[in-house]
Structure formats: C-alpha cells, structure tokens
C-alpha cells in the first residue's frame, strides 16, 4: 500500500505557511513504512529539531482504479479515519528554498500515525465533519470539511489520472490551520465528530 497526501487543501493553512492557494492539488507520498497504527507512540527522530503535527482526515481506498472521473470517485473509498502528517518543518523549509523534493521531511518512518477507520455511511454529510487535534488536553487545530479546497472526489479523480489507486491505499486530505511543533512527552488526541480516534504520545 501507499500513502498519498495532499498539501494546502485548507486556505487558512496555506496562508499560515505563506503559501499560495493552489490551483491544482499539491500531492506527495509516504511509503508504507511511514504508517503508525494502534496509537503506538511516535518516537521523535534525531534528524530534526522541528517536527510539526498536521491533523488530517484520511480516506481508505476500497478498490483499484485509474482515470477515475469525479462523478464515480465516491465509489473508491468506503471508510474514513484520522491521521497525523508529521512533518520535519526545518528540513522541509530548507528543501522548499532550493526547490527540492519533500521526501526527507515528510516520508520518514512512522511519520503517518493513523486511527481506526469508520464506514463513511455512518456520517450524514461528509462535507460538514468537525475534526480536531488536542495537544496535552488543549485544542490546537480544529477543522471542518466544508472548508476543503478540493473535495475528496476531486482528489481521487486527480490523483488517479497519474497514479493507480489500489485497495488499502490511504489518502491524507490536508490539514487545517494551527500546525505547530511537538516535543517529547506531548500527548496527542485526535477527534472526528467528537469521537476520540487518535490517542498517543511523542516519545
């Protein structure tokens, strides 16, 4: 499986990092070794001194597809969950300055904690979902999917023009504003529509 991630999919977050609002989605990937499950602790890596949290809604792909039209894209994911797109912001900033790829900042081991997944049919409206990240019991990021720049269907359609989606692939759909640093000892809790799905420590 692979992790496909979307950058700058909430306008307020694009602004907070002084990035333009994208006209086409910003895409990057993480390998399967990035996935961290079961609320296991995240171990702070030695190569960075500025790891940021990015809470995101994650789609789980349920069947193989390429060149998917937006009209049929909803058939390609059946469950959603929460994930944290951990980012070595110091490395990313250096690479962005030079126009270099982001992999070292985004794709490192365990950089993608994911929660359990919930059937999307359980939600009345996928475009009015509240989600948030608490760090040490204080809400640091809060988002609502009504503010997505590119819908889940638009993302699936766009990505599948370039990369075949396979069953089990995960799509991180972008973070709302409020990204910031984590430190060793922090407790992270992620909520989707009030249900706590992520609950782990930085070690």
Spatial contact of 46 and 157, defined as CB atoms under 8 Å apart? no
Q: Binding to Mg ion by residue 173, rule CB under 5 A?
A: no
Only segment of 29-37, 50-58, 75-83, 131-139 that touches Mg ion (CB under 5 A) = 50-58
Minimal CA–CA distance to 74: which of 59, 93, 91? 59
**9 makes contact with Mg ion (CB under 5 A):** no
Minimum distance of Mg ion from residue 72's CB (angstroms): 26
Query: By CB under 5 A, which span of 19-27, 46-54, 96-104, 116-124 interacts with Mg ion?
Result: 46-54
| Min CB(179)–Mg ion separation in Å | 8
Q: Choose the binding region for Mg ion from 27-35, 116-124, 143-151, 173-181 (rule: CB under 5 A).
A: 173-181
How many C-beta neighbours within 10 Å does residue 53 have? 25
**Residue 54 sits in the site that holds Mg ion (CB under 5 A):** yes
153 binds Mg ion (CB under 5 A): no
Region 66-105 residues binding Mg ion, contact defined as CB under 5 A: 85
Residue nearest to Mg ion (CB): 85
Q: Is residue 175 a contact point for Mg ion (CB under 5 A)?
A: yes
Mark the segment that binds Mg ion (CB under 5 A) among 32-40, 117-125, 172-180, 188-196.
Answer: 172-180
- Residues 100-139, one symbol each (x = binds Mg ion by CB under 5 A, - = not), give ----------------------------------------
Binding site for Mg ion (CB under 5 A): 54, 85, 175
């Amino acid at each position: 499986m692979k992790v496909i991630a979307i950058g700058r999919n909430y306008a307020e977050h694009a602004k907070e990092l002084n990035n333009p609002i994208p006209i086409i989605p910003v895409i990057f990937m993480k390998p399967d070794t990035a996935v961290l499950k079961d609320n296991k602790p995240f171990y702070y890596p030695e190569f960075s001194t500025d790891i940021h949290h990015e809470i995101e809604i994650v789609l789980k792909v349920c069947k193989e597809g390429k060149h998917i039209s937006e009209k049929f894209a909803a058939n390609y994911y059946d469950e959603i969950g929460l994930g944290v797109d951990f980012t070595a912001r110091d490395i990313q900033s250096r690479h962005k300055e030079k126009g270099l790829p982001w992999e070292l900042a985004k794709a490192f081991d365990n950089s993608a904690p994911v929660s359990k997944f919930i059937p999307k049919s359980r939600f009345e409206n996928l475009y009015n979902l509240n989600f948030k990240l608490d760090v040490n019991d204080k809400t640091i990021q809060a988002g609502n999917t009504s503010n997505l720049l590119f819908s889940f269907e638009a993302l699936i359609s766009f990505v599948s023009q370039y990369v075949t989606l396979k069953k089990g692939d995960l799509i991180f759909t972008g973070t709302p504003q409020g990204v910031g640093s984590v430190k060793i000892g922090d407790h992270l809790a992620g909520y989707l529509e009030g249900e706590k799905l992520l609950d782990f420590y930085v070690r």
